[in-house]
Amino acid sequence: MGDLVYDPPRDGPTLWEIGIPDRSAAEYYVPDPNPKYINKLLVNHPDRFRQYGLWERYAELYPNQDLVYTVGESDYQKDWFFAQVTRKKDDQTYQATTWQIKFKLENVNQTGKYTLRLALASAAQAELQVRINDPNPSSTPLFSSGIIGRDNAIARHGIHGLYWLFNVDIVGHLLVQGGNIVYLTQAQSTSPFQGIMYDYIRLEGPSSLNSNPIV
């Protein structure tokens, strides 16, 4: 039969990346459990994510503002929560969350095509929306996944489920020289278990071999 060779998609050079492309969210920050729920069998266990109730810790760590990750400064093992979940509010309802990835570009090809690759390790009745330099969660997103996923890895104390890969084209004029922000919104918010686990995120610049602009 011969060798089967898989070439992962790539359009241009890597500008930055977050995580390890292994179809798991295990490399990201998994918090200590609430002492009320701690399972002593899992204390000092490598599978920290199997502790109960870790999804509730997000609202405790980020009670008012969502996660902000700065490329070149933040460490995904310490600063990237293992799951983008909803925030539980005082009235027992749930709120959508928007994470930010801040990064700098020394030069921008205004007519070139940049590519944001979003590999998900899990999704549970979630909707991932992407905006570039647009902080308004009510505006039309550059990309929406639609409602995806039913693997319930968050609720069942897992660290991966069904794999998803989304490739988002970004026209160069949406970016600026200097500081830029990618906004990642998980827009569904009726349950504590709606959310996304990221596997790997990469921003690619325009290919030197393919400089055709996109419109």
CB atoms within 10 A of CB 140: 9
113-122 per-position pLDDT tens digit: 999 999 999 9
- Torsion sign over Cα 155, 190, 66, 92: negative
**Would you place residue 155 in the very low, low, confident or very high pLDDT band (cuts 50, 70, 90)?**
confident
CATH for 16-204 is 2.60.120.260
CA distances from 122 to 41, 112, 203, 212 (A): 25, 31, 20, 34
Q: What is the pTM of this model?
A: 0.91
Domain ranges of the chain: 16-204
CA distances from 48 to 51, 92, 146 (A): 6, 27, 30
174-191 per-position pLDDT tens digit: 999 999 999 999 999 999
